[in-house]
């Protein structure tokens, strides 16, 4: 009498290393996809109007170099003519914004002078910086 169990059965094994890779890539995909979509956006279909006016927004780049050379949209301008030049741009656009780029060695008084001119002309101004 032979009472030994038969051990010729095939063992059932499952290798999960490939499944771990697939799950990692799926998780990465959903993380990236969730940062791209913005759930706070409300989509609206706005009505059309034949009598509506478009508001023109224009930006002008004003820069001051370390040699106190003023440029307006890459055109050199004297300090005395800066007010006339900016008022000419103001007449072209209803809503105007100045992007002021200043060398860090320029004295603050020169920057304030440009800011005063913009304030008198009722023009918005933004100071350009470089991120850290």
The full set of domain ranges for the chain reads: 57-127
Contact 27, 65 (CB under 8 A): no
d(CA 18, CA 27): 14
Q: Tell me the three state secondary structure of residue 36.
A: helix
What integer best gives the mean pLDDT of the chain? Answer: 80
The CATH fold of domain 57-127: Nucleotidyltransferase; domain 5 (3.30.420)
Residue 116: what pLDDT? 94
Band (pLDDT 50/70/90 cuts) for residue 27 is very high
Strands 95-102 and 124-127: parallel
d(CA 20, CA 69): 62
d(CA 98, CA 128): 10
Global pTM reads: 0.56
């Amino acid at each position: 009498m032979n009472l030994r169990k038969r051990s010729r059965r095939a063992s059932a094994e499952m290798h999960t290393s490939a499944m771990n890779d697939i799950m990692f890539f799926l998780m990465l995909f959903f993380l990236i996809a969730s940062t791209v979509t913005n759930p706070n956006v409300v989509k609206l279909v706005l009505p059309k109007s034949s009598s509506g006016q478009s508001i023109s927004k224009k930006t002008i780049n004003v820069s001051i170099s370390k040699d106190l050379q003023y440029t307006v949209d890459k055109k050199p301008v004297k300090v005395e003519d800066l007010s006339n030049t900016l008022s000419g741009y103001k007449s072209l656009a209803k809503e105007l914004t100045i992007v002021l780029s200043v060398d860090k060695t320029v004295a603050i008084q020169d920057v304030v002078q440009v800011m005063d001119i913009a304030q008198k002309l009722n023009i918005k101004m933004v100071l350009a910086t470089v991120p850290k």
